[in-house]
Amino acid sequence: MTFDEKYFDIGRLDRLSYRETCVHRLDPRAKVIATMLFLLTVISFPKYEIVALAPFFLYPVLLITVGEIPVRFIIKKILVVSPFAVFIGIFNPLLDTRTFAVIPGFFVSAGWISFFSILLKFTLTISAALLLIATTSFPGVCHALRRLGFPSLFISQLLFLYRY
């Protein structure tokens, strides 16, 4: 087994998307709209909000449970791309050093709070996108986007990206 097969295993997402569960049978347009609304809502939270993001984990947990998607597979996919989020937020604790909270004996800077917020938002958005593809085939998502009125050129680009 090669590195690509072991860690990326893109074909497995396709195989998962053809299962027969109630989530898989939903209209792809509804899943795309729900995922877009979820992403926009999560992204719109302020950078120092952490506790308010906690209820949003119900959406991916619900999709994983009802869609019968392997949790370890999704977590592995998130971990593979997580260095990008870590690289984006790692400088926040160095640049935003003002004290945000005091936990007995420790001062927590606002940079650490915003860094953790970035990681939470990243986990939520990537898991939602992966679960959309795991419950709807990529061509199904593209077809749904086309039916929702997205430009044909954009859809063609996505399909070429997927194919090649």
Tens of pLDDT along 123-140?
A: 999 999 999 988 988 888
Full-model pTM:
0.85
Q: Is the dihedral of CA 52, 57, 58, 59 positive or negative?
A: positive
Which neighbouring-strand residues pair with 102?
A: 107
Q: How far is CA 57 from CA 112, 116, 139, in A?
A: 21, 15, 26
Report pLDDT for 39.
Answer: 96
Q: If you average pLDDT over every residue of the chain, what do you get?
A: 87
The rounded percent of the chain whose pLDDT value lies above 70 is 94
List, as one string, the DSSP characters of 95-123: H--SEEEEETTEEEEHHHHHHHHHHHHHH
Quick one: CA torsion of 28, 32, 33, 38, rounded to 10 degrees?
Answer: 140
Report pLDDT for 1.
Answer: 59
Tens of pLDDT along 86-104?
A: 998 898 888 888 877 777 8
pLDDT grade for 10, boundaries at 50, 70 and 90: low
The region of weakest confidence among 9-13, 74-78, 111-115 is: 9-13
Question: What are 40's two structure tokens?
Answer: 């926009």
Region 100-128: mean pLDDT is 88
